[in-house]
Amino acid sequence: MRNYGDFLFTSESVSEGHPDKVADRISDTVLDTYLAADPEARVACETLTTTNRVVLAGEVRGPASITSELLIEKTREAIKDIGYDQEGFSWKRADIQSYLHAQSVDIAVGVDSAGTKDEGAGDQGIMFGFATRETETLMPAPLFYAHEILRRIRDYRKAGDARAAGLLPDAKSQVTLRYVNGKPVGATSVVISTQHEAGMSQPRIREELDTIVRETLPEGWMCPSDELYVNPTGIFVIGGPDGDAGLTGRKIIVDTYGGAAPHGGGAFSGKDPTKVDRSAAYACRYLAKNVVAAGLADRCTLQIAYAIGVSHPLSVYVDLDGTGKDIDEAKLGSVLREVMNLTPRGIRNHLRLNRPIYTQTSAYGHFGRTPNDALDDFPWERTDLVDALRGAFNR
């Protein structure tokens, strides 16, 4: 989104009840189950969801106490928590099958530490991180508000609030913002499609969602009435995995920056933190956010590249998009390597990633979340490198 003039930019979000997000939730539930039993467990879990059926597949290495029966039980609990007990998809009646098997020994040889060899990256890949001053969370504004609309619907639905009466778990949002001189100033359109109970009138749904959107957007940002699109195709009763099959990792732009920054292509959910697709993407966000929070730039994009089995990153690229405060980007790249060990083990130790903290990341974005000190969650959202970064540049 390298543009400082006047333009429109759009991002979308999907709810925890979207079929792909149901799959992400289950995959991360499997991961957390393993990490709770063994912080060094290896997990790469993919999930398929469809009409009253869930299939788990992938590779794992962990304690024998994690049985297929336990994972099936945890899967049912996840589906129940999302809110699915419908004829076409029910936590009680869904047929759940697990085809998880042992991790490839060929991968293990390249990834595990041995003797003087440090632990290598779990795969090759390029990972990106991004931060911008557009919102207090240092996230792009269109995605922030698209997420926030759906979070409010979720909270009201689960609380039995009248503002979401009759709404069901599957939902999508899309927010288009107008930028003036490169800064967001208001919404030009908002699209929301939400599953609902049979017989519920579309005017009633629109009234509820109009209220939620107005509560969510900043004062004066509401789009024109005819640019609020609610269930544009009409009735939306059949939803979730019954309406459309879901797969892990199909909403990676929703998970990251809403298209406002590059994405390396790797999905996060269901992968343990030895997989740099996940852990290095978290490190990139952490570093980019600290750069912006330190006042070194208004925008920061980072890229880190790895090779499978190799511990050190092949490259670290920094782009401040012309917003740096007299900062040399090449020097900043070197400083970032100094303030954080960017080997897979170094990232995991610095951010304390070998913990069961991933289920809550599976919907409403992995980034821009507020860490809970009691839970010590979302550590990549903390800004505890600010002093070190300012010191490196005598700020």
Q: Is 157 a catalytic residue?
A: no
CATH class of 19-111: alpha beta
141/363 Cα distance (integer angstroms):
17
Phi-psi group of 305: left, alpha or beta (phi > 0 → left; psi -120 to 50 → alpha; rest → beta): beta
Q: Minimum mean pLDDT among 106-110, 156-160, 218-222, 376-380: which range?
A: 106-110
Q: Which of 17, 12, 21 is nearest to 247 (CA)?
A: 21
Q: Is the pLDDT of residue 108 over 60?
A: no
Strands ordered across the beta sheet of 125-132: 125-132, 299-306, 315-319
Q: Is the pLDDT of residue 37 over 50?
A: yes
Q: Is 172 a catalytic residue?
A: yes
Side-chain half-sphere CA neighbours of 294 within 13 A: 26
Q: Minimum mean pLDDT among 114-123, 141-150, 229-238: which range?
A: 114-123
Q: Is the pLDDT of residue 18 over 90?
A: yes
Q: Is 130 a catalytic residue?
A: no
Give the domain 125-133+250-265+275-392 fold: GMP Synthetase; Chain A, domain 3 (3.30.300)
Of 112, 244, 321, 377, the active-site residue reads 244
Q: Is the pLDDT of residue 106 over 70?
A: no
Q: Is the pLDDT of residue 166 over 70?
A: yes
> Which CATH number, 3.30.300.10, 3.40.50.970, 3.90.650.10, 3.30.450.40, labels domain 7-15+141-242?
3.30.300.10
Q: Which residues contact 177 (CB under 8 A, 6 or more apart)?
A: 8, 9, 10, 141, 142, 145, 184, 185, 186, 187, 188, 221
- Label residue 373 by pLDDT band (50, 70, 90): confident
Phi-psi group of 142: left, alpha or beta (phi > 0 → left; psi -120 to 50 → alpha; rest → beta): alpha
* pLDDT score for 111: 61
Of 12, 16, 20, 242, the active-site residue reads 20
Tell me the torsion sign for CA atoms 148, 149, 152, 157.
negative
Q: Is the pLDDT of residue 94 over 80?
A: yes
- Label residue 372 by pLDDT band (50, 70, 90): confident
| Domain layout of the chain by residue ranges | 7-15+141-242, 19-111, 125-133+250-265+275-392
Cβ(333)–Cβ(318) under 8 Å? yes
392/374 Cα distance (integer angstroms):
31
Of 147, 251, 278, 366, the active-site residue reads 251
Of 250, 278, 289, 350, the active-site residue reads 250
Q: Is 20 a catalytic residue?
A: yes
Of 24, 255, 277, 319, the active-site residue reads 277
* pLDDT score for 117: 43
Q: Is the pLDDT of residue 3 over 70?
A: no
| pLDDT, average across residues 294-307 | 96
Of 25, 196, 275, 278, the active-site residue reads 275
Cβ(261)–Cβ(145) under 8 Å? no
Average pLDDT, the chain: 94
169/22 Cα distance (integer angstroms):
10
| pLDDT, average across residues 221-237 | 96
Q: For residue range 308-355, list pLDDT tens digits in order.
A: 888 899 999 999 999 999 999 999 999 999 999 999 999 999 999 999
* pLDDT score for 113: 54
* pLDDT score for 104: 67
Same fold, 7-15+141-242 and 19-111: yes
Q: Is 250 a catalytic residue?
A: yes
Q: Is 236 a catalytic residue?
A: yes
Cβ(188)–Cβ(175) under 8 Å? no
75/54 Cα distance (integer angstroms):
9
138/151 Cα distance (integer angstroms):
18
Q: Is 59 a catalytic residue?
A: yes
Q: Is 58 in a helix, a strand, or coil?
A: strand
Q: Is 123 a catalytic residue?
A: no
* pLDDT score for 118: 52
